[in-house]
Amino acid sequence: MNKGFLLVVSGPSGVGKGTILHDLMNMQKNLVYSVSCTTRKKREGEIEGISYFITTYSEFEKKLDNKEFLEYAKVHNNYYGTPKDFVEQKINEGKIVILEIDVQGAMNVKKNSKDGVYIFVAPPSLDELQRRIKGRGTETEADIDIRMHNAVGELSYIQEYDYLIINDHINSAINDINEIINAEKHKVNRIDYNFN
Ligand code: 5GP
C-alpha cells in the first residue's frame, strides 16, 4: 500500500477553495476530505457532517480539553478544528487527506507532522476577492469586512507553502492542483515498491 499524506489547502475566504476541492474529489479517487468542527452558523446549502460538524462553543471547548483536534484556530471570531482520529485513520489507510484550513492551522500542522503538501490558493487581486465574497451573498457587510481584513494577513503567509495557485480561471486551478497531487503521489518515499 502506498503511503497516505496530508494535503493542506489554505487561502482567503471566498477564493474558491471549496469549488476547486469539490471537483478534485471527483477526479482523484484516493482523496478524502477532512470535515472540520466549527462554532460558525451553518450557511445556506451547507450540510451538517458534510460541510462541517457544527458545535456550540462549550462543546468545542470540551473537545479541545479532550485533545480531539489535530489542530484548531479561531478564525473570523469562530472556532474551527480538525478531528484527529479521522485524519489518522485515513492516513493509515493510504489516503490523501485534504485539510482545508486557515494559515494558523496550517502552520501548526506543519510544525507537528512530517509528511504534508502545502498549497496556497490566492485570488488574482483583493478587489476580485471582495467581488466573489459579495457575490456569494452569504455574509453580512460586517463579516465581509472581517474576511477582507483577514485576507491580507493570510496572504502574507504564502512563502510558508510549497505551491501557489492563483485562482484566476477555476479550471486551470483545478488542473494545476490535480497535477501537483499526481506528482506528489509518485514521490519515491510514498510508494511501496518491491521488484522481487
Ligand atoms: P468558512 O467560515 O469560510 O467556511 O471558513 C473560514 C476559514 O476557516 C477558511 O479559511 C477555512 O479554510 C478555515 N477553516 C475551516 N476549517 C478549519 C479547521 O478545521 N481548522 C482551521 N485552522 N481552519 C479551518
pLDDT tens over the chain, length 196 residues: 889 999 999 999 899 999 999 999 999 989 999 999 999 999 888 999 999 999 999 999 999 999 999 999 998 789 999 999 999 999 999 999 999 999 999 999 999 887 899 999 999 999 999 999 888 888 888 989 998 999 999 999 999 999 999 999 999 999 999 999 999 999 999 998 989 8
How far apart, in whole angstroms, are the C-alpha atoms of residue 75 and residue 105?
10
Q: Among 118, 133, 119, 132, which Cα is nearest to 165's?
A: 119
Q: Any idea what DSSP says for residue 48?
A: B
The reported pLDDT for the residue numbered 138 is 81
Check if the beta carbon of residue 67 is closer than 8 Å to that of residue 84: yes
Residue 28: CB atoms within 10 Å: 15
* pLDDT at res. 8: 98
Question: What residue ranges line ligand 1, CB within 6 angstroms?
Answer: 13, 36, 40, 71-73, 75-76, 80-82, 100-102, 104-105
Which residues fall within 8 angstroms of residue 58, CB to CB, at 6 or more apart? none
Grid coordinates representing 51 are 460541510
CA distance 81 to 83: 6
Residue-level pLDDT at 157: 97
For residue 113, the model assigns a pLDDT of 83
Q: Tell me which of 22, 44, 101 to substitute to probe ligand 1's pocket, judged by most ligand atoms within 8 Å of the beta carbon.
A: 101
Closest CA to 117 of 167, 171, 26, 190: 190
Q: Report how far residue 41's alpha carbon sits from residue 159's, in angstroms, rounded to the nearest whole number.
A: 32
Expressed in angstroms and rounded, the spacing between residue 102 Cα and the centre of ligand 1 is 5
| Cβ proximity of 167 and 124 under 8 Å | yes
Query: For the whole model, what pTM was predicted?
Result: 0.94
Q: How far is the centre of ligand 1, averaged over its atoms, from the C-alpha of 41 (Å)? A: 13
Short-list 83, 115, 82, 110, CA closest to 96: 115
Q: Which helix (H) or strand (E) holds 74?
A: strand 69-75
- Point out the ligand 1 atom lying closest to the alpha carbon of residue 78: 2
Neighbours of 150 (CB within 10 A): 16
